[in-house]
Amino acid sequence: MLRAGYQLLNHSPLGAAKTGSNNFALEFVRWRRKPRWLPVAKSKVFRVPERKKQPEEERAELMRLHNHYKTQLRSVRQFLRAEVVRHEETSTADHIVLTPEQEEAEYQLCIAENAAWNAKIASERELRLAKEREEKVAYVQERLDAGKLREELRRERASEHIRHEIEQSKTFITRSNLDEAIETALANPVDHNFAIDMAGAMYKGRTTQSLGSSA
């Protein structure tokens, strides 16, 4: 029998013929068993195969195991059949036919039970919503209190800044005390120039002589 398959050239045991860009390999194989559509070989037409003899102990053991298996399978079937019959006998859905009065009573009972469930769920929902409202009110109040506190702190800082500026404004030079400020500055000259030596001593003023120039 001929079998065709795609293989790589270096993996093909019998070689390959390259066609185009694909590697197409042909490999000759044999069937493991003779196909059933072929006739019997001429050399085996009149051959009668020898039937192997089975030991008596082996045959008895196989028969015992077979009977044991059949017995267990029959027991399982009988058990399942009995369960189905019992379920059919005890089930009331297919055997009991309710009257219109009984159906109405059962319907009213279902309505009452459903109403009870709805009432219970409604009460639980009301409690949950009330708790959520309380939590939301507390959260909003907390945010309002925090906002008020921040506003008070901001006003205090602004008032402190205003008071500081008012105190500083007392020393400002205005149009009314301009002449007095000029006279005070001329009478008290201030020289902000200074020098610092290696020892850390400060020498203020431009007219201050250094140690080297004193000689």
Return the pLDDT at 115: 95
Residue 67 corresponds to which tokens in the numbers above? 């009977």
| More confident position, 194 or 96 | 194
Residues 181-198: pLDDT tens digits?
899 888 988 777 888 889
Whether residue 109 is found in the same domain as residue 154: yes
| pLDDT over threshold 70, residue 38 | yes
37 is a domain residue? no
Examine the domain organization and report whether 89 and 104 are in the same domain: no
**Whether residue 86 is found in the same domain as residue 140:** no
Using only C-alpha atoms, the chain has a radius of gyration, in whole angstroms, of: 57
Q: In this structure, is residue 10 part of a structural domain?
A: yes
pTM (global) more than 0.85: no
On whether residue 149 sits in a domain, the answer given is yes
Tell me the CA distances in angstroms from 38 to 28, 34, 93, one per residue in order: 19, 7, 61
Among residues 46, 67, 96, which one ends one of the domains? 96
Q: Is the domain of 137 the same as that of 161? A: yes
List, in order, residues 6 or more apart from 40 with CB less than 8 Å away: none
| Closest C-alpha to 27, from 54, 9, 45 | 9
Last residue of a domain, one of 50, 71, 96: 96
Same structural domain for residues 105 and 83? no
Name the domain count of the chain: 3
Q: What percent of the chain has pLDDT over 90?
A: 42
Of residues 56 and 190, the one with the higher pLDDT is 56
- For the chain, the average pLDDT equals 82
Is 177 among the domain residues? no
Mean local confidence (pLDDT), 132-152 = 95
59 — pLDDT class (breaks 50, 70, 90) = very high
User: What value does the mean pLDDT take over residues 145-151?
Assistant: 95
pLDDT at 17 over 50: no
Q: Does pLDDT of 1 surpass 50?
A: no
Instruction: Give the pLDDT mean for 2-21.
Output: 43
Question: Which stretch of DSSP H or E encloses residue 195?
Answer: strand 194-196
Do residues 165 and 124 share a domain? Answer: yes
Kindly state whether residue 53 falls inside one of the protein's structural domains.
no
Please tell me the predicted confidence (pLDDT) of residue 10.
Answer: 44
Q: Whole domain around residue 72: which residue ranges?
A: 58-96
- Domain shared by 108 and 76, yes or no: no
**Judgement on whether residues 135 and 75 belong to the same structural domain of the protein:** no
144 occurs within a structural domain? yes
Within a domain: residue 14? yes
Task: Find how far residue 20's CA is from the centre of its chain.
Answer: 51
The answer on 137 and 113 residing in a single domain is: yes
By three-state DSSP, how is residue 21 classified? coil
Rounded mean pLDDT, 51-60: 91
